[in-house]
């Protein structure tokens, strides 16, 4: 037996152990997030599968590899068969996704959220319908909120109209009533995706007041036609999700990647950038490509974009949307 052949034989067990550990760890995580009521299953079943692989290994390398392949196929078939749904017991703030109907230049929006937040988890619930005119669409603002790590942010777009209306569109996880957000859960089909339309005094004030997040507001440089196309592409997403739900995915289908994909429908040349994934750096990316006006230093723009302290100092009787834009 040659030295090279003996070395190859020694490497095979290491490879088998590494692949088995990876498959079983992934299986445990998927079971953990899919079956929260019986999370012991996420511990017991992988151990049973591991015991089976060990038993097969005594019958030979071929039997062990076939057993591992069967686990991969079986777990993959189960995970692939999981389908997103519309009929779960949703958390109140994501219970309804926006839908719309276009009549000429008029857009009728249904299920726009206008909650009055008392605490970060308690609100006076109110869903409204409204109508906007595409010919009056004047501005698009990026609303970015960070908490904890400055590298991760939630991003939303606020569309401003000449009649004073602001409609914020936000791609969010659709939690069930007893669920909390989990970045890891977003990798394992724990959440559906929902498009929320809301007023700024709901969705932005929630973050500046009840959550006390660091919220920034950036004006985007777009032509009137680009603004209209972006707004309509968002609403088309809302109607699509109403017809056919889909999963939220932490990396590929989140609030920022949705914005980037919809923006590419308007401007196909917009490049993909690592800062789309590390969403806290989105302003740097938009500044570099000129979507945020780059006539001043970026740090100066970031400083003036921060609105949390300004919003908290506003009198309650002032128009919230006008107040947070003072001095921008």
pLDDT tens per residue across span 34-59: 998 898 999 999 999 989 888 888 88
Please report the pLDDT score of residue 97 as a whole number.
97
Q: How confident is the model at residue 13 (pLDDT cuts 50, 70, 90)?
A: low
Given a cut of 80, whether residue 227 has pLDDT beyond it is: yes
Are 316 and 209 contained in the same domain? yes
Given a cut of 90, whether residue 268 has pLDDT beyond it is: no
Average pLDDT, rounded, for the chain: 89
Please report the pLDDT score of residue 5 as a whole number.
45
Q: How confident is the model at residue 258 (pLDDT cuts 50, 70, 90)?
A: confident
Are 171 and 304 contained in the same domain? yes
Domain's final residue, options 47, 81, 115:
81
Number of domains in the chain: 2
Which of 9-13, 213-217, 266-270, 276-280 comes out lowest in average pLDDT? 9-13
Domain's final residue, options 81, 104, 122:
81
Please report the pLDDT score of residue 2 as a whole number.
52
Percent of the chain with pLDDT over 70: 95
Given a cut of 70, whether residue 11 has pLDDT beyond it is: no
**Residues facing 145 on adjacent strands:** 154, 215
70 Rama class: left (phi>0) / alpha (psi -120 to 50) / beta: alpha
Are 233 and 134 contained in the same domain? yes
In whole angstroms, what is the distance from residue 89 CA to residue 246 CA?
A: 16
In whole angstroms, what is the distance from residue 221 CA to residue 245 CA?
A: 32
* Residue 267 maps to a domain: yes
What distances in angstroms separate CA 286 from CA 14, 38, 137, 207, 281, one per listed residue? Answer: 46, 44, 21, 22, 9
CB 132 within 8 A of CB 228: no
Mean pLDDT computed over 165-187: 92
Given a cut of 70, whether residue 12 has pLDDT beyond it is: no
Position with higher pLDDT, 295 vs 207: 207
Please report the pLDDT score of residue 236 as a whole number.
95
Buried b / exposed e across 24-33, counting CB within 10 Å, b at 16+?
bebbbbbbbb
Are 317 and 195 contained in the same domain? yes
Are 39 and 97 contained in the same domain? no
Mean pLDDT computed over 118-130: 95
Mean pLDDT computed over 137-148: 92
Residues 270-294 pLDDT 10s: 777 778 778 888 888 888 888 888 8
Mean pLDDT computed over 116-126: 94
Overall pTM > 0.85: yes
Domain's final residue, options 20, 55, 81:
81
Which of 113-117, 152-156, 306-310 comes out lowest in average pLDDT? 152-156
In whole angstroms, what is the distance from residue 160 CA to residue 167 CA?
A: 7
* Residue 86 maps to a domain: no
89: number of Cβ within 10 Å: 9
* Residue 87 maps to a domain: no
Mean pLDDT computed over 148-156: 84
């Amino acid at each position: 037996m040659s030295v090279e052949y003996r070395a190859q034989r020694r490497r095979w067990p290491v490879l088998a152990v590494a692949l088995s550990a990876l498959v079983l760890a992934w299986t445990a995580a998927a079971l953990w997030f899919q079956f929260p009521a019986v999370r012991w299953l996420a511990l017991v079943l992988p151990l049973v599968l591991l015991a089976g692989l060990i038993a097969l290994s005594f019958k030979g390398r071929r039997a062990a590899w076939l057993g591992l392949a069967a686990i991969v196929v079986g777990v993959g078939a189960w995970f692939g068969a999981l389908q997103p749904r519309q009929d779960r017991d949703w958390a109140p703030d994501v219970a309804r996704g926006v839908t719309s109907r276009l009549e000429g230049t008029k857009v009728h929006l249904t299920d726009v959220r206008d909650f009055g937040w008392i605490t970060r988890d308690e609100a006076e619930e109110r869903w409204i319908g409204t109508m906007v005119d595409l010919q009056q669409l004047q501005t698009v603002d990026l609303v970015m909120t960070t908490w904890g790590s400055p590298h991760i942010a939630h991003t939303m777009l606020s569309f401003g109209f000449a009649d004073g209306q602001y409609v914020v569109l936000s791609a969010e996880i659709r939690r069930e009533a007893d669920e909390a957000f989990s970045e890891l859960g977003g990798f394992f089909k724990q959440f559906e995706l929902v498009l929320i339309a809301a007023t700024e005094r709901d969705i932005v004030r929630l973050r500046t007041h009840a959550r006390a997040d660091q919220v920034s507001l950036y004006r985007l440089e777009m032509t009137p036609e680009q603004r209209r196309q972006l707004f309509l592409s968002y609403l088309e997403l809302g109607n699509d999700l109403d017809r056919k739900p889909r999963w939220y995915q932490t990396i590929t289908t989140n609030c920022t990647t949705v914005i980037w994909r919809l923006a590419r429908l308007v401007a196909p040349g917009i490049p993909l950038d690592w800062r789309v994934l590390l969403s806290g750096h989105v302003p740097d990316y938009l500044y570099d490509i000129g979507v945020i006006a780059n006539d001043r230093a970026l740090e100066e723009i970031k400083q003036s974009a921060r609105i949390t302290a300004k919003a908290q100092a506003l009198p309650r009787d002032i128009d919230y949307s006008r107040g947070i834009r003072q001095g921008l």
